[in-house]
């Protein structure tokens, strides 16, 4: 309950002015939401979904953009605690380092919901529930697509380079793990380089330029942990005089419109979907949590795989 709600209720009770009609006109639920940043097309769609859903649902949203810095998120969470919001939701930049601030939220009796990215904490009861994608499975889907592709030339060795997401973030850790788990079954698939491009186009381009300049081994495949880094890398590949999607096979994750456009243009080979439209489910979850209803510990979103062959047909249906 917010300070306002408590204050209004106490004042009316003390003054003996309580009107039962007011009981139905409760104050709106207040959610403090700490967002990772605005690093990608995916993130922009995720922010819009959360803001729209809060508005439609009549939830007062206190929104803070952490600009990809954990220290900003910790500050935002402390500020939400000080403001006595009804519920805190956040998408953690990185997995570790949350125990202290989550204990502070618990001491203030404010429930916490994780969205999109998971945390690694000593006491998992420090958050109520987690809604988001299965990032390990996304990595596996990317790996399986490559296994199938490699069947076309079973004797050829494929040299793979990887653009990882933000160091220490759940999607970077899990997408690497899932992909490596699958490609391990084919010894012809060799991962030679792996570096973080921080989930941004600019960094994806910069790191891909460095990979290409190394010139020690021909690059056959690029695995990018998100579409934005793949799109940045496509620019680097073109500037190096090569054909993305042909000279270098490109696999990425998210399924944003930019990726579908790149596939239609023949520059990207496949994208694994990661759904950012979490807003409506998050608002319902927040209402249930605040009302003390039982909720699932883990809510996983359903997602597909989109190879270039289906891109033109799918592009008009994409919502982000
Ligand atoms: O946590 C989800 C990831 O974060 C998305 O794949 C990426 O685009 C974003 O920056």
Could you report the per-residue pLDDT of 151-203, keeping only the tens digit for each? Answer: 998 899 999 999 999 999 999 999 999 999 999 999 999 999 999 999 999 99
Q: Which of 73, 116, 230 to mutate to test the pocket of ligand 1 (most atoms within 8 A of CB)?
A: 116
Residue 316 is assigned to a structural domain of this protein: no
In a shared domain, residues 149 and 253: yes
* 16 vs 104: which has the higher pLDDT: 104
Residues 99 and 203 in one domain: no
pLDDT of 215 reads 81
- At residue 286, does pLDDT exceed 70? yes
- Distance between Cα 239 and ligand 1 center (Å): 26
Q: Are 98 and 82 found together in one domain?
A: yes
| Domain match, 188 and 210 both | yes
Looking at the structure, tell me whether residues 129 and 143 fall in a common domain. Answer: no
Instruction: Read off the pTM.
Output: 0.92
Distance 42 CA to ligand 1 centre (A): 6
**Domain assignment present for 54:** yes
Show the domain range for 226: 135-274
pLDDT for 56 beyond 90: yes
Residue 248 lies in a domain: yes
Structure tokens at 242: 């090569």
Does 156 share its domain with 46?
Answer: no
Question: Domain check: are 186 and 118 in the same one?
Answer: no
Domain count for the chain: 2
- Probe residue for ligand 1, chosen from 36, 174, 254, 275 as the CB with the greatest number of ligand atoms within 8 Å: 254
Residues 164 and 285 in one domain: no
Residue 219 included in any domain: yes
23 inside domain: no
| Mean pLDDT over the full length of the chain | 93
Residues 156 and 260 occupy one common structural domain: yes
Ligand 1 lining (C-beta closer than 6 Å): 39-40, 42-43, 116-117, 171, 199, 226, 228, 253-254, 274
pLDDT at res. 164: 98
Residue 100 falls within a domain, yes or no?
yes
* Residue 17: per-residue pLDDT: 34
- Is 12 a residue whose pLDDT tops 60? no
Q: How far is the CA of 134 from the centre of ligand 1 (A)?
A: 12
Q: Are 234 and 187 members of one domain?
A: yes
Distance (angstroms) between ligand 1 centre and the Cα of 286 equals: 22
Query: Based on the domain organization, do 77 and 164 belong to the same domain?
Result: no
C-alpha radius of gyration, the chain, whole number:
22
pLDDT of residue 89: 98
Report residue 19 as tokens.
């009107």
CA angle, corner 276, sides to 87 and 165, nearest 5? 100
Tell me the CATH number at 212.
3.40.50.2300
Mean pLDDT throughout 83-108?
Answer: 98
Q: Is the domain of 145 the same as that of 269?
A: yes
pLDDT of residue 15: 37
For the cut 80, the answer to whether the pLDDT of residue 267 exceeds it is yes
Tell whether the model's pLDDT for residue 24 goes beyond 60: no
Model confidence band, residue 23 (pLDDT cutoffs 50, 70, 90): very low
What are the pLDDT digits (tens) for 196-254?
Answer: 999 999 999 999 999 999 988 899 999 999 999 999 999 999 999 999 999 999 999 99
The pLDDT value recorded for residue 168 is 98
In a domain, 15, yes or no: no
Q: Which atom of ligand 1 is nearest to the CA of 199?
A: 10
Residue tagged 């996304």 (tokens): 138
Which of residues 235, 259, 274 is at a domain's end?
A: 274
Q: Is residue 207 part of a domain?
A: yes
Instruction: Look at residue 110 and tell me whether its pLDDT is greater than 50.
Output: yes
On the question of pLDDT at 6 being above 60, the answer is no
């Amino acid at each position: 309950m917010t300070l306002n709600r408590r204050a209004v209720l106490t004042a009316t009770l003390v003054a003996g002015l309580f009107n039962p009609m007011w009981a139905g006109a409760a104050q709106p639920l207040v959610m403090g939401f700490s967002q990772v940043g605005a690093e990608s097309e995916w993130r922009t769609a995720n922010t819009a979904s959360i803001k729209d859903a809060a508005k439609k649902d009549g939830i007062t949203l206190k929104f803070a953009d952490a600009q990809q810095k954990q220290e900003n998120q910790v500050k935002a969470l402390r500020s939400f605690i000080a403001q006595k919001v009804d519920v805190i939701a956040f998408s953690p930049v990185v997995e570790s380092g949350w125990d202290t601030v989550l204990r502070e939220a618990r001491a203030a009796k404010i429930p916490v919901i994780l969205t999109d990215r998971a945390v690694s904490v000593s006491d998992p009861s420090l958050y109520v529930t987690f809604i988001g994608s299965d990032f390990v499975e996304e990595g596996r889907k990317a790996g399986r697509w490559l296994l199938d592709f490699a069947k076309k030339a079973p004797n050829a060795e494929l040299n793979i380079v990887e653009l990882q997401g933000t160091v220490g973030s759940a999607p970077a850790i899990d997408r690497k793990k899932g992909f490596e788990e699958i490609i391990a079954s084919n010894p012809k698939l060799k991962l030679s380089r792996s570096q973080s491009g921080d989930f941004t186009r600019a960094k994806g381009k910069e790191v891909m330029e460095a990979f290409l300049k190394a010139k020690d081994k021909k690059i056959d495949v690029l695995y990018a942990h998100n579409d934005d880094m793949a799109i940045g890398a496509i620019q680097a590949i073109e500037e190096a005089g090569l054909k993305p999607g042909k000279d270098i096979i490109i696999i990425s994750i998210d399924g944003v419109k930019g990726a579908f456009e790149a596939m239609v243009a023949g520059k990207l080979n496949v994208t694994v979907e990661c759904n950012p439209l979490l807003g409506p489910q998050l608002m319902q979850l927040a209402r249930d949590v605040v009302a003390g209803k039982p909720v699932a510990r883990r809510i996983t979103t359903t997602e597909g795989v989109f190879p270039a062959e289906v891109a033109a047909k799918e592009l008009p249906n994409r919502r982000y």
